[in-house]
Amino acid sequence: MLTRIKTLIGYAADARWFAEIDEHDIDKPLGYIPRQSDIPSPYANGPSHVVYAWRGRAVISVETKHRRYEVFEVPRSMIHADESSILAALTA
């Protein structure tokens, strides 16, 4: 179960939040989780969410409405090392 921990309003707020990612490791995320159907996102097209480390937590950021971003904490047990395992599970 994901826990909402922060709401960001606007592109600038989202950019400031990304600047706080632990070790500024945007190019090397913790992993991926499957797209969560209980999080509404009109802009979500891919099969997964990218998981980042932020203040010692595993989190995702999702644009839930126009210019509104929600940050959710992700249990480590849900994280996949790469997207291929998520795609394999979806096509099986």
Q: For position 17, what pLDDT does the model report?
A: 93
Average pLDDT of span 18-40: 82
Tell me: pLDDT of 63 over 90: yes
Number of domains into which the chain is organized: 1
b/e for 7-45, b at 16 or more Cβ within 10 A? ebeeeeebeebeeebeeeeeeebbbbbbbbeeeebeebe
Q: Note down the domain range covering 60.
A: 3-91
> pTM of the entire structure?
0.86
